[in-house]
Amino acid sequence: MTTLLERFIPESRDYLESAAAGLLKLERDPADEGLINEVFRAVHTLKGASGLFDIPGLTRLVHAGEDVLGAVREGRLGLDSEMVDLLLGALDHVSNWIDGLERHGCLPADADGVSAGLSKRLWDFMPAPDGAPRTEPAALRSTAPPAWLDDLAPASLRAAFETADGPIVAVSYMPDDGCFYRAEDPFNLLQQLPGLRLLRAVFREAPGALAEADPFRSLLGFQALVAQPRSEIEQLLRYVLDQVTLYEVAAASSSANSPPSSMAARLIEEQRRIIMLPGDDATLASRLTAVSFTLGTLLTSLDWLDHQEALAAATDRESLIAVIDLLLQRAAPTRGAPDASVAPAGGGPAATAIPAVLAEERRPLPRMLRVDQDKVDALMTLIAELVVSKNSLPFLARRAEDVYGSRDMSREIKDQYSVIDRLAQEMQRAILDIRMLPVSEVFERFPRLVRDLSRKLEKQITLKVIGEETAADKNIIEALGDPLIHLVRNSIDHGIESPEQRAAAGKPEAATIQLRAWQEGDQVIIEVSDDGKGIDPAIVKAKALEKGLITVEKAHSMTDQDAINLIFLPGFSTAASISDLSGRGVGMDVVRTAIEKINGHVTLSSELGAGTLIRLSLPLSMAVSRVMMIEIGDGLFGVPMDIIVETVKIPRSLIRSIKRAEAFVLRNAIIPLLRLRSLLELAPREGVAEEEAVLVVRVANSTVGLVVDRFREGIDVIQKPMDGLLAGMRGYSGSALLGDGRVLLVLNLKELL
């Protein structure tokens, strides 16, 4: 894969996402000109960029979409749901082709056929002039001679026809503002045209001050005469056809009686201005000579040979001015015509096709740097090693004092540690910021999902998204996709009633699903809520009994919230029938498993008849974890800080036995007490302590006290997953290397408890 293609693939995905998101918004507000311009710009840029590669099927389809959006943009076509469906389907095909391009370096074998079919369906939306049949657009076909042909000397046209076997095609090419960014070279492209007879550059607009010129924007347009069939010209210019106007010039157009253009009139007027400037006799003589030479050349090119004698006899200022006035009178019929040197060429189709792109507001380009993900991961590996090295300094300070008895050296090491610790934390934060992504990366797929499913199920649903700028580690964002899809699909399928049912219940026919995200401490909270029918605890318990997931005794003792939580059990489903949306017994258990895998947890609340709310609490980052070290015998273990409520020392006399289980009272609340030695199946501790070190943690909405031997300090670690023979070891979430070389095992209390 070439470097250019490697850059094109991620950029094209950005354009596709932007276009799809904009289309969904446009469907709700078709009159939003800003949205129309945004979607058109994304598709237009994608089409131009695709022209750099040999993928005509993709370019053709995007070109068709651009034509439809261009017609919508110009007010010639109204946007409706059918059109949005087809445009979104086309974008889906392009997205799949981009994936195939990344994997195989080429489009699938059926791409051209699919592209042709979809392109025709898109072009069928285009308004046809005067009831004529719609045809696939190629280059814009001019029905009248472009005005710039009048600027050419008849001798130039005659010379072109002398070597041509057929008609001459007049080509007007006005490059758009993005041509250089797509590595297009308009001048070189036209030079490749076989049968090129004339090529000249003109200003698309009057040039401004040189200091204000944008070097990344072409101010030039190009006009050419080509002795070649139109079809061959279109083939060479196939990727820029929207910027090209073609006109077939008949041989009769080369008549010597063609009138001069406004350019000639302006040139003559300029000669008059030059000789009227003040100056001494020597300067005036030089000017008269230069003006006479210029006018003589002009007369030759225009075939105005009858003025040659008068020009030759004009040897002073007055006589030369008389000749200039005579020439201006002859040029008078066309002096009001537009000047091709300072305005877009032609007053016909090109003038209506190009300005829509050129008139767009030129936005400053954001300063973005695309970096391969592996390079960012390599930085994280390096910062991990730095954190390990930094953590070794406190051990070294303790060793300097305890082993070598040097308290001063121990103090100096601690002072240096504080400096290195500050720098390491700043580096760590900077690298984590690089890895942070907004949740909009995953939220942006849901407007399309909600739209498609609601249309399929004939439900009216509005999606509200709040807090999409909230950021989290890229691994968290990537892991959120599937769980959120399950939750939103469940809300649409199970939670939202039909419009008739909602109306009967006194609700608005249009339901609302809300995605909300915010940061809370070192957690990212994401809520998925709906105003549907809610979850009926009685139905859930009945289904669970029917499937044998709970006993009758347990069902009678369950609270409504306990019953609602049964939907997280594997194999549970309330769907009456199996469809492509639900009923297979997978969904909420998959959500909980996926969220817990990234050290998050799920809570659910529901009110019958009012709706359901599901909250996902996720760590801000999976890269660096803050853990508290604890000792049990000779072993050192880590407990994630985010689940620790507090640490307390409990006198043994305050520990009570309740039904053969230990507990204690903490601020008027009964806290179950578990011994971590027993949970880890370690040997019992020798002797009886007068007070117990208790780590109070909150796991799965329950508060529990864990008896440990000793508390140690908190520390930042970068966890490595358990692999090899230890990969399936229950009760451990990973390991980390300490500064003294020891391995710290990080506990997974959700599994242990």
Q: Give me the half-sphere count of Cα atoms (radius 13 Å) on the Cβ side of residue 457.
A: 26
Please indicate whether residue 740 or residue 702 has the higher confidence score (pLDDT).
702
Residue 239 above 50 pLDDT?
A: yes
- Within a 10 A sphere around the Cβ of 587, how many other Cβ atoms? 23
Q: Indicate the SS3 state at residue 359.
A: coil
**What is the mean predicted confidence (pLDDT) over 247-272?**
61
**Rg (the chain; Cα; Å):** 38
Residues whose CB falls within 8 Å of the CB of residue 207, separated by 6 or more in sequence, listed in order: 213, 219
Residue 747 and residue 670 share a domain: yes
Q: What angle do CA 120, 125, 127 make, to 5 degrees?
A: 120
Asked if residue 183 belongs to a domain, the reply is yes
Q: Which residues pair with 603 in a beta bridge?
A: 615
Give residue for tokens 């892991």. Answer: 479
CB 541 within 8 A of CB 562: no
Residue 583 and residue 489 share a domain: yes
CA distances (Å), origin 629, targets 422, 706, 738: 21, 13, 11
Asked if residue 262 belongs to a domain, the reply is no
Residue 631 and residue 687 share a domain: yes
Residue 571 above 80 pLDDT?
A: no
Q: Which residues pair with 732 in a beta bridge?
A: 747
- In this structure, what DSSP letter does residue 534 have? -
**What is the mean predicted confidence (pLDDT) over 409-428?**
85
**Closest to 549 measured CA to CA, from 566, 536, 564, 562:** 566
CATH code of the domain containing 96: 1.20.120.160
**What is the mean predicted confidence (pLDDT) over 382-409?**
82
Q: Which residues pair with 632 in a beta bridge?
A: 635
Residue 582 and residue 456 share a domain: yes
Residue 633 and residue 610 share a domain: no
Give residue for tokens 């189709």. Answer: 349
Asked if residue 39 belongs to a domain, the reply is yes
CB 753 within 8 A of CB 405: no
Q: Indicate the SS3 state at residue 471.
A: strand
- Within a 10 A sphere around the Cβ of 95, how many other Cβ atoms? 15
Please indicate whether residue 365 or residue 465 has the higher confidence score (pLDDT).
465
Residue 696 above 90 pLDDT?
A: yes
Residue 168 and residue 119 share a domain: no
- Within a 10 A sphere around the Cβ of 403, how many other Cβ atoms? 8
Handedness of CA 619, 622, 628, 632 (dihedral sign): positive
Cα–Cα dist 142/111, whole Å: 32
Asked if residue 363 belongs to a domain, the reply is no
Cα–Cα dist 174/243, whole Å: 6
- pLDDT number for residue 232: 78
Reading the block at residue 569, the tokens are: 């059990």
Please indicate whether residue 331 or residue 461 has the higher confidence score (pLDDT).
461
Of 94, 110, 131, which one is at a domain's C-terminal end? 131
Cα–Cα dist 753/750, whole Å: 6
Give residue for tokens 């750099």. Answer: 52
Q: State the pLDDT confidence band at 400, using cuts at 50, 70 and 90.
A: confident
Longest dimension (CA), the chain: 129
281-301: string of b/e by CB count within 10 Å (b at 16+)?
eeeeeebbeebbeebeebbee
CA dihedral 397, 401, 405, 410 (to 10 degrees): 50
Q: Is the model's pTM score more than 0.85?
A: no
Of 336, 354, 388, which one is at a domain's C-terminal end? 336
Asked if residue 727 belongs to a domain, the reply is yes
Q: Give me the half-sphere count of Cα atoms (radius 13 Å) on the Cβ side of residue 364.
A: 2
Q: Domain count for the chain, please give it.
A: 6
- pLDDT number for residue 704: 92
**What is the mean predicted confidence (pLDDT) over 59-70?**
87
Angle, to 10 degrees, between the axis of helix 33-50 and the axis of helix 56-73? Answer: 160
Q: State the pLDDT confidence band at 694, using cuts at 50, 70 and 90.
A: very high
pLDDT tens per residue across span 38-55: 898 888 888 877 877 778
Cα–Cα dist 51/240, whole Å: 8
Cα–Cα dist 714/720, whole Å: 18
Residue 445 and residue 569 share a domain: yes
Residue 290 and residue 250 share a domain: no
CB 354 within 8 A of CB 344: yes
Single-letter code of the amino acid located at 707: V
For 470-622, strand residue ranges (E) read: 471-473, 511-520, 523-530, 601-607, 611-619
**What is the mean predicted confidence (pLDDT) over 234-256?**
67
Residue 19 and residue 111 share a domain: yes
**Closest to 609 measured CA to CA, from 510, 530, 543:** 530
- pLDDT number for residue 344: 35
Cα–Cα dist 169/138, whole Å: 15
Single-letter code of the amino acid located at 691: E
21-57: string of b/e by CB count within 10 Å (b at 16+)?
bbbbebbeeeeeeebbbbbbbbbbbbbbbbbbbebbb
Strand order in the sheet with 601-607: 461-466, 511-520, 523-530, 611-619, 601-607
- Sequence length of the chain is 753
Asked if residue 301 belongs to a domain, the reply is yes
Q: State the pLDDT confidence band at 360, using cuts at 50, 70 and 90.
A: very low
Cα–Cα dist 446/517, whole Å: 14
Residue 586 sits at φ, ψ, to 5 deg, of -125, 150
pLDDT tens per residue across span 702-737: 899 999 999 988 887 777 777 777 766 788 888 887
**What is the mean predicted confidence (pLDDT) over 542-564?**
85
CB 67 within 8 A of CB 118: no
- pLDDT number for residue 77: 86
Cα–Cα dist 50/623, whole Å: 37
Where on the phi/psi map is residue 44: left (φ > 0), alpha (ψ -120 to 50), or beta? alpha
Residue 453 and residue 429 share a domain: no
Residue 182 and residue 85 share a domain: no
Residue 482 and residue 561 share a domain: yes
Cα–Cα dist 708/696, whole Å: 11
Which residue segment(s) compose the domain that 640 sits in? 625-752
CATH code of the domain containing 709: 2.40.50.180
Single-letter code of the amino acid located at 730: R
Interstrand relation of 220-226 and 140-141 (parallel, antiparallel or unpaired): unpaired
**Closest to 655 measured CA to CA, from 605, 694, 607, 611:** 694
CATH code of the domain containing 182: 3.30.70
**What does the DSSP assignment read for 284-296?**
HHHHHHHHHHHHH
- pLDDT, averaged across the chain: 79
Of 114, 131, 148, which one is at a domain's C-terminal end? 131
Asked if residue 260 belongs to a domain, the reply is no
**What is the mean predicted confidence (pLDDT) over 30-43?**
87
Asked if residue 531 belongs to a domain, the reply is yes
Residue 559 sits at φ, ψ, to 5 deg, of -80, 170
Reading the block at residue 267, the tokens are: 């040139």
Where on the phi/psi map is residue 718: left (φ > 0), alpha (ψ -120 to 50), or beta? beta
pLDDT tens per residue across span 471-523: 888 888 888 888 898 899 889 988 899 999 999 999 999 999 999 999 887 78
Cα–Cα dist 501/121, whole Å: 37
CB 448 within 8 A of CB 88: yes
- Within a 10 A sphere around the Cβ of 742, how many other Cβ atoms? 10
Single-letter code of the amino acid located at 479: A
